[in-house]
Amino acid sequence: MTEKVLASANTEAVAMAALTGISRRSFLQITGGGVALSVLGGMNGAMAASPAPKSLVVAAPSTPLTGDLEGPELGDVQSQSTIMCCYDGLLEFRFKQYPDGHSEAIAGEFEPRLAEKWEQVDATTWRFTLVKGVKSEYGNEFTAADVEYLWNVYNPGRNNVGGFFATKIAKLTSVKAVDKYTVEFTTDGPAPMFLQVMTTAWSRPFDTTELKKHQTSDDAFGAKWLNRHAAGYGPYKITAWNPGTSFTMERRSDYYGNAPYLDKVTWLEVPDPSNRLSLLMNGSVGASRSLQYDDLKTVSASPNLQVQSAAGNFGLYLLLDYNVKPFDDVRVRQAIAYAIPYEQIISKVFAGYAQPLKSIEVPAYEGYTDKYWHYDTNLDTAKKLIAEAGAGGSTVELSYTASKPAHEAVAIALQTALAEIGITLKLHKMPPAAFTAAAIQAVLPAFLHDTYAWVVPTTAYDLLLSKVEGSNNHVHYNSQPIKDLAAKMAGEPDLAKRLAMSEEAQKIMMEDLPWIPICNEGQQEAFVKSLTNFVWVPHGVFLTEYLKPSNS
């Protein structure tokens, strides 16, 4: 039996080389020869499922691009999925587990991590007591000085996402070490999203002692070193990083908290989704990310594989520039909303994995309501509005990224549907980098956009970041009532009042329709059945540190 398993392992290693573009020897070196473990649990169900392996190989569209989450590639989901496992925050969300085995963060409920406790001293002051004796992989102890450095020096100095969180969301005015293991945060008035911010990737303290060793006169924050290293207090450490090929992290034996189940996690770059599917189906890897929606059905049908899904916060929208005719007319935007074949898109393009989205926000956000939705597909109403606006015969360009095949299928469905109401769409598939740059520069008249999973799941945060004046307001939407509501929500401590303002904002925007909601794509992760507990967090990442045996 052993000889047969090793022969299968060798065969799988050869197949792996063909599908990933790396050599058999390199594959075995990267995975530590662990392919045999995957074979026993894979082979499309040909063998009985084995106990959950202690190491996991993940096939992903790319390896992590960076370890510097304040750098130009900070939005890379693979980077956040891995680097976040090397850092701990002061606290994390509390999770609720669902019948299929996955868990989801509960907005507004938290568990301790690097802080053993916290309290709100008054309306503008929070005090955290830190866990004592925590050390990084470099042997340096975690103290309040690390927290001070992050918020008083690093985030303001990098002046990027962390700075945005500090000033706009957490509303921080000072962070002070009371003693070695106590730190106080002071905010500019009430800051209802403060604790939410403490869960994000950009609020996780560095081992400042180690980081400062890599800072130079021309790199004041050690960004070059961080690009390929981690300096955190999390459960994993980076042990190998071959950009474009593989990334490996291993569990720290000296981690202060509850040890994750997996000893070792390796991410392999496999750009072709069909190859990622093949590797998962034949047992060469234990998880494959970003599969095609029809392929998820194939995975679900395998006896030793599974797809765990969370509705999450990946809303898919059609964005229409307010400065471009005919989209400057609200009747045209509403007509397009009435023309979209929502049910067809969900069933045909997303194979039933997506869910209806009936607000400018997603259901995971505080205050979501669908009561102002009245855009079920109705071509007669759409045609009437187009006629009233005199917009029949309009021709516009619809852009979408080449990195998401589903978006091309949605674009084609929209092209067909809008032709029925007299609007011609010229489809423009763009390379991912060019598409992102054009969207940020707000030069696309119409485009498909699935919201990056905003990490603070509240309406106020979403409005401030993407639909008022933030970097993601791609359509020149300029509503003073929405600006006022966003600012008020960001400082309103009373939940009931905040929810009422959130509802009012959604009411306004479901009439204005700067973003037309199409569906909630959700987050789906495909992996072996011997593991469970894919955890959805608002970052929309795949945190393997939470995976555990299915029988635990």
pLDDT in tens, 333-343: 999 999 999 99
pLDDT for residue 503 is more than 90: yes
The rounded distance, in Å, linking the Cα atoms of 23 and 549 is 31
pLDDT for residue 68 is more than 90: yes
Please give the mean pLDDT across all residues of the chain.
89
Q: Do you know the residue count of the chain?
A: 552
Average pLDDT of span 169-188: 96
Q: What predicted TM-score, i.e. pTM, was given to this entire model?
A: 0.86
pLDDT for residue 2 is more than 50: no
Confidence of residue 39 (pLDDT cuts 50, 70, 90): very low
Average pLDDT of span 378-406: 95
Residue 341 main-chain phi, psi, to 5 deg: -85, 75
Confidence of residue 302 (pLDDT cuts 50, 70, 90): very high
Structural class in CATH, domain 88-93+105-212:
alpha beta
Q: Which residue has the higher pLDDT, 50 or 228?
A: 228
- CA dihedral sign of residues 517, 319, 311, 492: negative
Confidence of residue 6 (pLDDT cuts 50, 70, 90): very low
Least confident stretch, 113-122, 184-193, 265-274, 360-369:
360-369
For the stretch 204-231, pLDDT in tens is 999 999 999 999 999 999 999 999 999 9
Surface-to-core class of residue 99, CB atoms within 10 Å of its CB (0-12 exposed, 13-18 middle, 19+ buried): exposed
- Fold that domain 315-521 belongs to in CATH: Dipeptide-binding Protein; domain 3 (3.10.105)
pLDDT for residue 469 is more than 80: no
Write down the pLDDT at residue 35. 43
Structure tokens, 118: 């916290």
Looking at the DSSP bridge assignments, the partners of residue 527 are 287, 306
The rounded distance, in Å, linking the Cα atoms of 350 and 337 is 19
Report DSSP letters for 320-350, one per residue. E-TTSTTTTSHHHHHHHHHH--HHHIIIIIS
Percent of the residues in the chain that have a pLDDT greater than 90, as a whole number: 69
Average pLDDT of span 421-442: 89
Confidence of residue 436 (pLDDT cuts 50, 70, 90): confident
Nearest C-alpha neighbor of 64 from the set 238, 183, 224 = 238
Q: Which residue has the higher pLDDT, 43 or 514?
A: 514
Percent of the residues in the chain that have a pLDDT greater than 70, as a whole number: 88
Write down the pLDDT at residue 9. 45
pLDDT for residue 468 is more than 80: no
Confidence of residue 51 (pLDDT cuts 50, 70, 90): low
Place domain 2-83+234-311+524-549 in its CATH homologous superfamily.
Answer: Periplasmic binding protein-like II (3.40.190.10)
| Domain positions in the chain | 2-83+234-311+524-549, 88-93+105-212, 315-521
